[in-house]
Amino acid sequence: MNASRPLAESAAGTDIDQYVDDLGRQARAAARVMAAAPTGTKNAALAAIAQELESHRTAILAANAGDVERAQAAGLEAALLDRLALGEATVAAMAEGLRQVAALPDPVGQIDDLAYRPSGIQVGRMRVALGVIGIIYESRPNVTADAAALCLKSGNAAILRGGREALASNQAIGRCVQAGLAAAGLPATAIQVVETPERAVVGRLIASPEHLDVIVPRGGRGLIERISQEARVPVIRHLDGVCHVYIDAAAEVAKAVEIAVNAKTQRYGTCNTMETLLVAAEIAAEVLPLLAVRYEAAGVTLRACERARAWLRDAEPASEADWQAEYLAPLLAVRVVDDLDGAIAHIARYGSGHTDAIVTQDYSRAQRFLREVDSSSVMVNASTRFADGFEYGLGAEIGISTDRLHARGPVGLQGLTTQKWIVLGDGHVRQ
Amino acid sequence: MNASRPLAESAAGTDIDQYVDDLGRQARAAARVMAAAPTGTKNAALAAIAQELESHRTAILAANAGDVERAQAAGLEAALLDRLALGEATVAAMAEGLRQVAALPDPVGQIDDLAYRPSGIQVGRMRVALGVIGIIYESRPNVTADAAALCLKSGNAAILRGGREALASNQAIGRCVQAGLAAAGLPATAIQVVETPERAVVGRLIASPEHLDVIVPRGGRGLIERISQEARVPVIRHLDGVCHVYIDAAAEVAKAVEIAVNAKTQRYGTCNTMETLLVAAEIAAEVLPLLAVRYEAAGVTLRACERARAWLRDAEPASEADWQAEYLAPLLAVRVVDDLDGAIAHIARYGSGHTDAIVTQDYSRAQRFLREVDSSSVMVNASTRFADGFEYGLGAEIGISTDRLHARGPVGLQGLTTQKWIVLGDGHVRQ
């Protein structure tokens, strides 16, 4: 089915199977307790974990220093080393993150739309935990604390499997998480950090619907695609962010320029950064020369279509590959389109369904863009950089989903829950 | 990966691939039009399809008669022949179903929770179509019209693949659907009925995320398990309905008896029929003799645990297999449990997560049952038979999901949609 090397492949196959089954059974048992845990108890656990992280800061940093040293010796590249390294500030931020999650409202048990039906029963929906969540992530050890906090608050159990290079750091953080859970009277096994670097564990986990209800991979495209290919468990995926801003003929020029500059330059490496700018032909002569000055000042290199290059003398010619690129760098593709239809067609063909924005004062075109662009976030007169769990008011996010089912866009506590139907009768039977 | 024979296996492999790719491309193109189609246009199409079904009733019944004749000759069993056969009343019911779906509110474009954020942007969620839905079903040809109606109203395109034995019936209905779509100015290819009995089509379809966004299998457990195993596309599954009623020690006896009788006997073959009755030890002596009389009158055979058999002299002894059985027949497993904890533990171990009910006057136990029983529908003092899209006010259902993600329980129009984030600014940029 799949040409790439399967994840599950190990000499120690049966040991791995046993290890994963133990993890899974413990998680499943803990999940039942977590699903029914009172809000106050969960918040107490979060506070206790924050406390544990602070009191064990020295041990965490020592474990992390060991990881960094081994990774350097193994020749890990600088960007990954940078992600791996923790400092006092990172540990403080992890503790602060846990307290912020404690302060968020508890989604579990919330009842929506409870209403009487003609039969006399009341029908509504109650928000409940998903069960056991598998998080598979790469270098950053602080994900261990962040993911634990969100899974705990949403009443789930979790199995966390971080990068091999971060093993000692993740275990040190994991011990704090388990101590905090125990201090609040919750099962320590509600959050388990995988203790072996064996890759086969991942292959076995993602093929075990009896152990996991959903998998959230966090990392590069390679990791996410491999997991999607091989998983027998639903995956909440975050693939590319090829985000667009379309400057419509009816845009206010000043707004358009500020949004197009912010969407590209506020941060280059984030998934909600604009990668392609689309400009209506009618307004190109007015807006592109202004943008050329601003992008040059910011050090952004432009790759433009022929029509756009009339106004962007320094731009390189764009190729087909540029319309598909997620640069994550000071590089921008620019294309002049005829009108809104041209912009929508371009986004449908080349976009990744992440975040796209229109700048326009025209009511009908704003409405059409909102309705017809099929992305997880669609914006009018705002920078694509707003596509973020904190900016949307979720408080924290476990990731951004580019999938369509279940959770779309930034995934917070609600995305880690589901709804069941509840029916309240008083002896009602069906006729 | 999978020991069973794969669905995709055909001498005419490349032709099938080409055929499925054509279906998929046409569906994808139609889906874009459907997603943006105005409510009035979709309702006009539904009315036109109803009209087409009525005017082509003779042709549909003739095609169906051919299917029935071939199926009889091939020795199809009586129950399946019964499902396959259409009559004038079924055609009228299909037309009526289409008009009912037209009368339901359009979920597409509905905006929830639009609110200002501290940054000044407004953030909310807009309900949008899922895209292309694959429905794979067995004998009943009326599913063709029902599924088409729900997919159309929810702004989706659909590829429908019915049972091989119903091929001519489904095509006759499919022609009416396409004529109705065209009459309303919508693409006829929005709803396509697979025209070949080749099983390889199913294998190819369910492995094509580029063509389908979600698959809804409707049929027996074998069909659903095979599709789940092989699908590379998300599946909304409906597995077993092993539903419980728990009569608590604090139940009102009259309510308990009526609910336990209705949940078992109102219909035997439905997935929300009670299959196991749990009774608290404290109330068993009072309630079981009354129920024994009622079940005997209804012709229900009982299989009971040792403790229950003290009050149910005619019951056979229940074995482990009875606790797991979905009888779909006038058969009932009965077990005496110590208390609420025993009931919750039994349901967690043997239940299928479909529908479970408690009968009690005790406030705290009702609350605990609602919170702790992990099923798609959880009820207090009501018959499990209420777990149904019509009874819940969905208007119609495409099926009942026993999955946890995305859609749980009865799936109506809303379950065939998803939500995207919308952001409304006025030149806002991120700081």
Using the CB atoms, write b or e for A323-362: b if 16+ within 10 Å.
bbbbbeeebbbbbbbeebebbbebbeebbbbbbbbbbbee
Pick from A204, A423, A426 the residue to mutate for testing the B interface (most B CBs within 10 Å).
A423
pLDDT of residue B232: 86
Q: Tell whether B272 and B345 lie within a shared domain.
A: yes
Using the CB atoms, write b or e for B157-196: b if 16+ within 10 Å.
bbbbbbbbbbbbbbbbbbbbbbbbbbbbebbbbbbbbbee
Q: Which residue has the higher pLDDT, A234 or B22?
A: B22
The answer to whether B5 faces chain A, any CB pair under 8 Å, is: no
Residue appearing with tokens 């190729």: A319
CB A191 within 8 A of CB A49: no
The overall average pLDDT reported for chain B is 93
Q: Is the pLDDT of residue A2 over 60?
A: no
Query: What residue type is assigned to position A353 of the chain?
Result: G
Closest in B131, B266, B420 to A377, CB measured: B420
Task: Find the range with the poorest average confidence among A417-426, B3-12, B58-67, B128-137.
Answer: B3-12
- CB contact set of B205 (below 8 Å; sequence gap of 6+): B20, B23, B24, B134, B136, B159, B161, B211, B212, B215
What is the dihedral angle through the alpha carbons of A383, A388, A391, A396, rounded to the nearest 10 degrees? Answer: -170
What pLDDT band is residue B401 in, cutting at 50, 70 and 90? confident
The residue in chain A having the minimum alpha-carbon distance to the alpha carbon of residue B252 is: A427
> Distance (Å) from the C-alpha of residue B54 to the closest C-alpha of chain A?
30
Contact residues on chain B for A372, CB-CB shorter than 8 A:
35-36
Q: Tell whether B308 and B252 lie within a shared domain.
A: yes
State how far Cα A66 lies from the chain centre: 28
Give the span between the Cα atoms of A80 and A220, in whole angstroms. Answer: 12
- Interface contact flag, B380 A408, Cβ < 8 Å: no
Quote the domain boundaries for residue A325. Answer: 243-386
The answer to the question of residue B236 being in a domain is: no
Residue B15: other Cβ atoms inside 10 A:
13
Cα–Cα distance list, B372 to A67, B139, B340 (Å): 42, 37, 11
Average pLDDT for residues B183-189, to the nearest whole number?
98
Restricting to A residues 102-141, those with a Cβ less than 8 Å away from any Cβ of B are: 109, 115, 117, 119, 121, 123, 126, 128, 130-131
What pLDDT band is residue B223 in, cutting at 50, 70 and 90? confident
Q: Which residue has the higher pLDDT, B229 or B359?
A: B359
Closest in A130, A387, A408 to B418, CB measured: A408
pLDDT tens, B211-222? 999 999 988 888
Q: Tell whether A125 and A178 lie within a shared domain.
A: yes
CB A136 within 8 A of CB A161: yes
Q: Is the pLDDT of residue B350 over 50?
A: yes
- Interface contact flag, A375 B214, Cβ < 8 Å: no
- CB contact set of B29 (below 8 Å; sequence gap of 6+): B187, B189
Q: Tell whether A112 and A69 lie within a shared domain.
A: yes
The answer to the question of residue B37 being in a domain is: yes
Phi, psi of A243 (to 5 degrees): -100, 145
- Interface contact flag, B428 A383, Cβ < 8 Å: yes
CB A47 within 8 A of CB B363: no
The answer to the question of residue B426 being in a domain is: no
What is the number of structural domains in chain B? 2
Q: Tell whether B253 and B187 lie within a shared domain.
A: no
What pLDDT band is residue A166 in, cutting at 50, 70 and 90? very high
> Distance (Å) from the C-alpha of residue A138 to the closest C-alpha of chain B?
25
pLDDT tens, A384-401? 999 999 899 888 788 888
Give the span between the Cα atoms of A372 and A347, in whole angstroms. Answer: 10
DSSP one-letter string for A298-331: HT-EEEE-HHHHTT-TTPEEP-HHHHH----SSE
Average pLDDT for residues A245-254, to the nearest whole number?
98
Q: Which residue has the higher pLDDT, B229 or B279?
A: B279
Closest in A252, A375, A420 to B420, CB measured: A375
**What proportion of chain B, given as a percentage, has pLDDT over 90?**
82
pLDDT tens, A367-382? 999 999 999 999 999 9
Q: Tell whether B300 and B159 lie within a shared domain.
A: no
pLDDT tens, B156-177? 999 999 999 999 999 999 999 9
Of A230, A258, A289, which one is at a domain's C-terminal end?
A230
What pLDDT band is residue A8 in, cutting at 50, 70 and 90? very low
Give the span between the Cα atoms of A300 and A210, in whole angstroms. Answer: 49
Specify the CATH number for the domain of residue A145: 3.40.605.10
Q: Tell whether B226 and B247 lie within a shared domain.
A: no
Whether ipTM > 0.95 holds is: no
> Distance (Å) from the C-alpha of residue B404 to the closest C-alpha of chain A?
7
Give the span between the Cα atoms of A303 and A283, in whole angstroms. Answer: 19
The answer to the question of residue A371 being in a domain is: yes
Global confidence as pTM: 0.89
Q: Tell whether A208 and A179 lie within a shared domain.
A: yes
Of A206, A230, A254, which one is at a domain's C-terminal end?
A230
Task: Find the range with the poorest average confidence among A329-338, A393-402, B7-16, B135-144.
Answer: B7-16
Average pLDDT for residues B362-374, to the nearest whole number?
96
pLDDT tens, A266-302? 999 889 999 999 999 999 999 999 999 999 999 999 9
Query: What residue type is assigned to position B173 of the chain?
Result: I
The answer to the question of residue A407 being in a domain is: no
pLDDT of residue B6: 40
Task: Find the range with the poorest average confidence among A242-246, A365-369, B194-198.
Answer: B194-198
Q: Is the pLDDT of residue B382 over 60?
A: yes
Specify the CATH number for the domain of residue A325: 3.40.309.10
The answer to the question of residue A7 being in a domain is: no
pLDDT tens, A80-117? 898 899 999 999 999 999 999 999 999 999 999 999 99
Q: Tell whether A33 and A152 lie within a shared domain.
A: yes
CB A132 within 8 A of CB A87: no
CB A247 within 8 A of CB A287: yes
The answer to the question of residue A331 being in a domain is: yes
The answer to whether B427 faces chain A, any CB pair under 8 Å, is: yes
Of A201, A230, A259, which one is at a domain's C-terminal end?
A230
> Distance (Å) from the C-alpha of residue A174 to the closest C-alpha of chain B?
27
Q: Tell whether B268 and B200 lie within a shared domain.
A: no
What pLDDT band is residue A51 in, cutting at 50, 70 and 90? very high
Helix H or strand E segment including A234 = none
The overall average pLDDT reported for chain A is 93
Where are the extended beta strands (E) located within A327-401? 331-337, 355-359, 377-382, 399-401
Restricting to A residues 209-238, those with a Cβ less than 8 Å away from any Cβ of B are: 213-214, 234
pLDDT of residue B13: 57
Restricting to B residues 251-310, those with a Cβ less than 8 Å away from any Cβ of A are: 252, 254-255, 258-259, 261-263, 266
Q: Tell whether A140 and A248 lie within a shared domain.
A: no
Closest in B213, B385, B424 to A430, CB measured: B385
pLDDT tens, B5-44? 344 444 455 699 999 999 999 999 999 999 999 999 999 9
Could you tell me the two tokens for A128? 């409940």
The strand pairing partners of B136, in sequence order, are B161, B217
Q: Tell whether A260 and A348 lie within a shared domain.
A: yes
The answer to the question of residue A310 being in a domain is: yes
The residue in chain B having the minimum alpha-carbon distance to the alpha carbon of residue A368 is: B36
